[in-house]
Structure 1
Amino acid sequence: MVDSTAGFKYLSFMDAYSGYNQIHMHPDDEEKTSFITEQGLFCYRVMPFGLKNAGAEYQQMVNKVFKNELGGVIEAYIDDMVVKSCTGKEHVQHLNMIFQKMRDVGMRLNPKKSFFCLSSGKFLGYIVSERGIEVHPSKCRAIIDMEAPKTVKEVQELTGRIAALNRFIARSGEVCKPFFQTIKKTKKFEWTSQCQKAFEQIKTYLSNPPIISRPTKGETLYLYVSASAVAVSAALIREEDGVQKPVYFVSKVLRDAEERYSTVEKGAFAVLIAARKLRPYFQAHPIKVISDLPLRKALGNLDVSGRLLKWAVELSEFDISFLPKAAYKGQVLADFVVESTGRTEKRDQEALWHVHVDGAASERGSGLGVQIKGPKGEIFYYAIHITFPVTNNMVEYEALIAGLRLVEAVGATKVRVYMDSQLVVHQINGQYEVHDPTLAKYLEKAKEVLATFEEAMIEHVPRGMNEIADALSKLAKGSDMSSETPITIMEIPEACITATEPKVLPISAQLEWYTPIWDYLTTGQLPTDKLVARRIKRWAPEFTILEGELLKKGYRKPWLVCISESQGRKLIDEVHGGICGSHQSPYTVDKRIEREGYFWPTMRKDMIDVVRRCERCQYHSRVSRRPPASLNTIASPWPFDVWGIDILGPFPTAKANLRFLVVAVEYFTKWIEAKPLALITSPRIADFVKHNIVYRYGIPHTIISDNGRQFTGAPFQDMCEGFGILSLFSSVSHPQTNGLAEVSNRTILEGLKKKVEGSKGAWPDFLDEILWSYNTTPRTATGRSPFAMVYGMEAVTPMEIVQPTLRTIAYEWTKNNEKKLVELETIYELREEARARMAKYQRKMRKNFDKKVAPKHFQPGDWVLRSVEATGKHIGKLDPAWDGPFIVTRSIEGRAYRLQDLAGRDLPNAWNAVHLRKFYK
């Protein structure tokens, strides 16, 4: 709120007049504020001061009144309000708007405490102005005028006053450490010379305190961190017109185990403390952490410390990048880093390694010279003989790369290389272009090695300043160096750009998934895309580089080796179908690969893709029995419009060689017609339809059958065409399409089994009885018997003859005919009731059926496999369960499909989706 007020040219400070008393009490609550006086018992009619929730209630009222202006035109904390504007004209408009809001609700101001059109003023204990936020002079004076404390209580009072100004005091924790030492429980209070020195230092600092700047929306902020033996500190800075201005100072005194942190851990801890304390700033702004400590590398190397891992994960939600410390702009920053700068420069000088390299090529042989000077003055000499042909420029690159690898081997992180080859230096620095393909490979290799250092610089020097390295390179031809000089002789058998390095992460021409992470961990480089960069920063703490390999932290294993997606797919092929593979599921393959310690981000997706494309797995996979689509019920609009027909048998041979039974069932009334046949040829089936259906009940609209030859034959199809009947076929091996006929077959078959007993050849004799029983029994779908659905009344059954009913006992010819006529008049109502009941029954069936559906859809052009079982072929124990592949040519309502083989020949009949599965090429 204070930050939002600073930075404006015109400010008006307003205070409500007895603000709490401007809110009326609810009549039911007035008695709760009762108080006794000499004149009697009284209660408040307005909200009094002292109520527990009075402040919150008033703030809620202010928020409601200025809900559209808060944060923009006005800032309000309870009864303290500030109207802010950048220009005078705007300020007048803003005040008019605020005053009108106050008039609308009857809010009153205190004229003695309200001030208008000021350039600065006091708000919430701070002085706010266009320049920024300043400490109120009274708070500084309260410390400056203090005498040296003489008791623990006075020291506590001092530290409390300092704590109120922590935002303005750089390294306050480090400066105040002596004060905290005196507060510890000791036998005797002692004000030491260190305490007095810190006390005077605080007074001097507060005599000219800094002005805190207000950051603008979205601008980049800089965080300087400092770590000492007793405290960690941070300064949040913004840059304006080339000058860096403080936004917030944070400091924390180290306690117990924190004091034993390493210097790098203390620096990371300082960043963490700042992120926690200044979370709103970290969430709203990109933060660049500036420090001489290798914080980026420390927070990326997860094998160093468990606490660093935890801190890195916590910091990963913010947009934080790390930069080396640069020049300081402003006295405040100089005060903040004055102590750590000296240590930094000293440490920088101590950590820097100097390397001189040179190469020499000739017909007699080629050599490399490397001189390494350590931070403590130690010197190492290397004379390296190379046995492969090189040019002058190639040998210079070989010398550079060899020198870098040697200094890296001794643990150097900061290096400065000197060489006299102007071409190589300028190519690495980007000043010269590289046209030679071989030199381009050398340049890539050199940059790769340079990226492994925290800091690396290459400098061109005259030959005279590189004499020792030059002499080492020519050692094979003789040099002026004395024999007492310790020189290490080495040999390189092949060029560095062709050498096999199994421990080095390969960098392919195609950008691999791990390349941005590798670049970030080694060089701090991030992609230009902000979203990708943020994802890399969040992900990077889970990775580390060890001996040239990128590793990811695992859960079952400490570290997983990162490999490319192409390598991962080869690994999946080997584990799934290789020598030791048994074509296991993706889940099992995943566990095996993870157990071996490999990782790439799309491993599970790749496993599923590779395994499902395995031809052996596809041909031998289990056949699913789950329906591929929701239930599609067949409804008939009126009686005898749709019939289902099917063949039942063969039965035991009866008289006249009767062995089969043709059954037809009507879809609306559920009426069954059946006839025994000796042969089930197409002409005989056509004759059955004519005499048992057409001549009795009229020409139907549709007849549904399977794909048997008796139905697909010419006589039956000609009969259908002659009567204008639509002949529909169910898909192959999918009797559910003609389910009503199949159910009727089952009912007839069960009845025959129970009727024939020992005389199985007499089954035709019992057929009429079974049909009569079926047609006079109410069906669940309609609630009526098929007889009643056809004739409008129930049939008189033999049961009514054995045991007379009312209609047989009280039978009268005249009244009976009248009642029959009445029933015939209501037959349409009966059928409509049956239709509604049938629709409800089908919805219930569909609901139960759809629970088991596993959706399966194909598009024309898709490749599919067909179930061998559906073709009627015998399947052995080791035979594949699927054949194909075939190509889908047409979809029939998304449930059945027409297919053709790869030669382009159409397969006869349609195939239901339940017998097909997608083939992955």
Structure 2
Amino acid sequence: MTDKRRYVELLVNGVHVRLQFDTASDITLISKRTWNLIGCPQVLPTEHTARNASGDILKLVGIIKCSVEFRDNYFTGNCYLTNRHDLDLIGIDWIDKLNLWDVPLSEICMMKCTNSPRDLPMVHVAKKDITIEDLLQKHKKLFQNKLGCCTIGKAKLYLRQDVKPVFCPKRQVPYAATDKVDKELDRLEKLGVIQPVNYSAWAAPIVVVQKANETIRLCADFSTGLNDALQNHSYPLPLPEDLFIKLNGGRYFSKLDLSEAYLQVEVDEDSRELLTINTHRGLYQFSRLPFGVKPAPAIFQQIMDTMLSNIKGVAVYLDDIIVVASSAHELMSRLDVVLNRISQAGFQLQKEKCQFMLDSVKYLGYIFDKDGRRPDPDNINAIKNMPTPTDVTTLRSFLGMIGYYSMFVPQMYKLRHPLNQLLMANAKWYWTKECQYSFDEIKRILSSKLLLTHYNPKLEIIVAADASNYGIGAVISHRFPDGKEKPIAHVSRTLNPAERKYSQIEKEGLAIVFAVKKFHKMIYGRRFTLLTDHKPLLSIFGSKSGIPAYTANRLQRWAITLLAYDFRILYKSTEKFGQADVLSRLIANQKQESEDSIIATISLEEDIHQILQVAIKATPLSAEDIRRYTQEDGELKRIISYLEHGWPSHIDNKNIEQYAHRRNSLSLVDGCLMFGNRVIVPTSLRRKVMLELHAAHPGVARMKALARGYVYWPNIDAQIEEYVAKCSACAKAMKAPRKTEMQSWGTPSNPWSRVHVDFAGPINGKQFLIIIDAFSKWPEVHYMKYVSTQATVKKLRQVFSCFGCPDILVSDNGPQFTSAEFSRFCIANAIRHIKTPPYHPQSNGLVERFVDTFKRALLKAEGEGEIEDIIQRFLLSYRATPNPATNNQESPAEVIFGRKIRIPMEQMKPKPEIIQCKNKRMERQFNKRHGALPRRFNVGQAVMARDFQGVKPTWKFGIIVRRKGKVIYEVKVGQKIWVRHANQIQPTRQEWEIESDRKHDIPLNILTESDNEIKKDPNKKKTCTTLPRRSQRIRRKPNRIKINPKDRYYP
């Protein structure tokens, strides 16, 4: 039997699909079978209903957006998914878009026999025709709903230098949640994600999150110390420009999603101890890469790049894999290669989140399709859909945003003028056409390319989020090198009725998490700055010691979400926060997805009663006392009423407002108010409880810790601080505060510019003055018989006469240095005197360290000689030894003198030949000025030597016995040997009377220059010594000059 129906073959999402040609259908319908074949695109809910030709209702599952191609016609349109497996119709909507009315049916349609098997949609790949189903069937091992294990690399973590292990105690899990946590721990252990250990130097606490589907997720809070101790993994994340090049020109796209991506990567065995978690069942170590470790994104990106390298048309950003091609045939070929690589690497995919044969993809603020790249309109929808202000508050927020962006719009002040009139004093609210025009024009400018900038990870990334009573908004921006900021995208949404009841801190936290999720692709794995105008969030989301244990349930959940991001959170006042503030006030209605919840607050009724009893037993009161005085307390009665009947939208009492912020943690047990596991103490009993808390005089921190385990009331921390501060017993025994940051002395630029002085002793009953040069580390040690100011000043003058006066002198507060006389001495010598704080020797640490070295040196050398000799040996060694604190590690002597000083060790070195250079010029000047002539005496010559022993110097007769140098002689005078200079020796007058031709008794060789003594002839008898003959030179009277002022020159 022949089927008279006609079919059209189209390309839907790049897949050949046959649809029945039906001009009686207003809409196009596809079956679930066809939906699977075209890649399971996203199905959006629809409120429309359809009826068949018989009038029966046809159930529609939802609406699908897909790409359609027929011959040369191409469009993106919607079709409806039915729950039937055999209903595929092309209706009037697609017939109109394909413009098929004027085309003969014989050219576009085909017939099909009812008794023949239904043909499957096909694409041609290589030599074999395969479908998407065939491709998925071929790689079915990738979709087994199990945890994969990467085979091409492991994660290795490296610690920073000099970090200490951080071991955090376990966090309590409520009894009602214990079973779920146990099952999750068992599941992870069975999968090989974690393994039990008996000991670890590192440990992080866990936080348990209950998902919307009632399952739980176990998270490790590595912000407690590990993340700060880890080095960054030096592997770059891909730049958008590189990814855009791979995506541009594509016509067909597919997205692949890895199942629990990070947990598929093994951790190196040496790094597993760092990833230890502390649970109620003991310690476990992660053997797979967990969520929230700071280097994880870079490690995972490196593995992904290794796995999918050298494949055309593949863009990889962390766990997002996008495959792009210009034709369906090419896309299927590339998908086949990619799936093979993923299979070989040991990973598993999550089929429900994979999408195939898409006509476009959204990525990093852009939409990529066959027409190329264009900005994502969602980035500006928050501004384009902004409703008109209805009062002064919303208008002021809008103008605040304008002020933030006005630097980019020179003529903005003209547009603002009609709006500014509404903010004037006593102005009535009247929204005119001029106001509406200005508002619309400003929105147009704010959403234009004039203000939006392209995403560039090389620039600083700023994320600002804010919340109002009925909406939240966020902006992601770039800060340029000149300090200006330009937005990349804006987002906002309204709060649902439940969220509007949140406290303000919860609304602000919700805004931050909303922003981070929306901008995830642009900020994940990169450092960014998070701005908020709510200061309390800094301690919750920016804490370096982990998520605060007493943070509200909802805020804990959001803090866990932020653990995966690398950011710093800063506070910005509301007045300067216009870019995000207006988005939270002027917003369009949007739907909100269901959220996860922290199960840490789940508890059974018996547990609550037990907690109440434990809390009350810690106080000197009974539960009856708490219950009775709670009923008499006006504030607590109102709190109980609010718990039973709902909280009001406005609270005028500050104390009750504090309770409102903690409403999610409040409960009523047996007439007693509880805040978590702490009993709320009525006002009349708080003084008594405070006395009990401070009975053992604990400090502020311990007293707060004790209180946080049992009792609560508003401002209890401040009252504890005040109570401890006023306790006289605690004040008297107060310990020293924590040391401030070290401020070292700067290095002087010259020797002897800054000196440090101090006294050392008594050592063996003696006091020593120590002086250290800060530049060269040259020490001076002087024994001080007296340690008075006068003696100190005298000794310093002696030292300064050798080295000069320093610019700065540093000393302690000894009486020698604080006297008026010492001040006058410093002023007179232009010395700046710096005194260190009393009882703080660290401020004069340079000399203090030397004093310690000096004392230990004397102790070690005790008994090795006189103390003065020991000191001099120590100083010689210290001054000649290279000092690591000096430039180039030179010795103090080298720094201060520019040379090494000679020590006894020097004699072990061979001496090089020394050529002594005389100062000829100085000799000539001296000889000319004094008329000096050479004077030479011979050994054995009788002379007159100068005698300095008497009151007045005289001359004594002697004999030259040795010549020690050019002008130094040894003269024998009587039985003594004197050493005299040639200028202190005169020839004897006797030699002038000796005849010049008298024969010499002394051989001539003895008269020559020699250092030898006189050689005696043993055969000759001793006779009188003969003197050399007198000089025969003719002496003339000098012709002395006579000065005549009129003469111009003299011959």
- The verdict on a shared fold, with TM-score over 0.5 as the criterion, is no
Larger helix fraction of residues: 1
- When normalised by structure 1's length, the TM-score is 0.34
Which one has a bigger Cα radius of gyration?
2
